[in-house]
Structure 1
């Protein structure tokens, strides 16, 4: 591999926004042609950008292995800083919100569980469609607790809905919803007819979400651990939409918040059974990074999400 001399101070000052965007596209696409297509520029222009970036960084960035290009070890360390810088630069130009949300041209990114009912997400999406029709919303799942902290810090997502109580100092949060945990099962389940005890619950086989905290499992796993209870989880999945069909066909028990349980029960004829002992409720919070706190467009979206949550909390209990 050819050794490229490091850039001098004058070269560093030439690292402008177009080059940063090309750098990030090259690192994520690992292809000059695909990076060019992603940014809507000519392939020859992207090739020139790659030459300049190699001079500025003192690294090849992309090398050929067989019939494909792969990022060098140095290039892999540059992806996250490039993404974070671009996210911060976008905030500089979007800090002043237009006089109306209808003038916004943004892509909002929300990471969340699917523990909340569909009507909540439908309300949020409806609000954006009505008030800011030129904006779009990307809704993605959550990884581990520490992963979505990193996603917020790196600008991969704008906001997170979480139930984990602890937050680093650089994150902000507001309360969305508080709801009790209940158990969901088929109506002729052996535990559906009477008063389920904690021992009944412990002996049952369970359906639950994928773990969100390595070594601790989900927030429900952590709650049960505090009670000194360990259960047999027969199915653990990120696809909670599977729950109604699985519960209808088995003796599995699904522990979740009451709002989602009510939706599943009404749509699929399932039974809701109170949790056998008093435990802390689920507390959903909307979380965002300190650097986006003053951004008016992000503040507008946060207010809409909080409004949708309050409307959901006011619906009549079944």
Structure 2
């Protein structure tokens, strides 16, 4: 019999009966597990034996055991059933307690330092079998291409104007402030609109670009005003910048929520900016490719949930 003719005689129901009979090693137990009458399972087994040209399951004492051919069929039949369940898994919905998928996200470390730890904790609590990959946003990474190609599912960060070719979900907005050491001269004299020149000329620390061509929301806004600050330190590790500020005269300009996480841990002080900045807006972005995916929707809901909970603290 030609392979195609053989395949035409096999349906998914037969594969399920085959795998169940082989793993249960009993027609009666297989019938109970499948919710079928025993004669129907026996008829399906007879058909499988004819197709295979092998008994598949034979008697041994009081029970039954697979033949060599039957043993070889256990894993392939299980693999077919796993693959078939994945084909239309999105139509069935996403069950986090039993799902075994991998979530891939790219995130800026400009986020609240508690954000990613709480997100990972929530995902692992609700979807313990799922895996998580966290990718950095760097100047070398093209997050648009990564979203389109499936290398990441969502990108989380802050943009003054998010790209309009992607789906977007707003997470939260934050006031822009300055973080300085407690003994910084500005702590004593303060800053006001009259001190803009002094603020621009002071030494600033800023992050490296997170994607090609990016200047960051602070410097993009200064550009619109025709202003430029004196950046003397560039650092790719945003989480280390508050410690650098604490032991120097550097000024770090970013969101208040981020700064407040360090105010009680380091000898630093939060000051208002002498320049009025728009609120720093954080978003999650995703591609049309995953827009209808139930698993991706669940992930985006977790991201939004964590962002909301942090804003209430």
The reply on whether 1:174 has 2:169 as its aligned counterpart is yes
Alignment partner for residue 99 of structure 2, among 88, 104, 107?
Answer: 104
Q: How many pairs are equivalent?
A: 225
Provide runs of 4+ in structure 1 moved above 4 Å.
90-94, 213-216
Counterpart check, 1:162 vs 2:157:
yes
The alignment yields a C-alpha RMSD, in angstroms, of 2.1
SS at 2:281 equivalent: strand
Note closer, same or farther for the CA distance 1:213–1:231 as it changes in structure 2 (3 Å cut): farther
> Structure 2-normalised TM-score?
0.67
Tell which structure's C-alpha radius of gyration is larger.
Answer: 2
Q: In the alignment, what sits opposite 2:257?
A: 259
Structure 1 residue 242 displacement after superposition: 1.8
What pairs up with 1:44-193 in 2 under 5 angstroms?
94-96=89-91, 100-144=95-139, 147-164=142-159, 165-169=161-165, 171-193=166-188
Deviations 1:204-252 (A, max 9, x none): 1111100235455222211121222111211111111221221122101
The alpha carbon displacement at 1:96 in A equals 3.7
Contact 2:241 2:252 in 1 (8 A): yes
Q: Secondary structure at the match of 2:306?
A: helix
Cα–Cα, structure 1 residues 288 and 215, in superposed 2: closer, same or farther, change >3 Å? closer
Structure 2: runs of 5+ lacking an equivalent: 1-84
The answer for the alignment partner of 1:279 in structure 2 is: 277
Q: For residues 233 and 149 of structure 1, do their structure 2 counterparts lie closer, same or farther at Cα, with a shift above 3 Å needed?
A: same
The answer as to whether partners of 1:97 and 1:104 remain within 8 angstroms in 2 is no
| Matches of 1:152 and 1:161, distance apart in 2 | 12
Deviations 1:102-148 (A, max 9, x none): 11111111111111222221221111111000012111211349811
TM-score by length of structure 1 reads 0.66
Whether the aligned pair in 2 keeps the contact of 1:212 and 1:219 (CA below 8 Å) is: no
| Aligned match of 2:303 | 305
- The CA deviation string for residues 34-58 of structure 1, in whole angstroms up to 9 with x for no partner, is xxxxxxxxxxxxxxxxxxxxxxxxx
The equivalent residue for 2:71 is: none
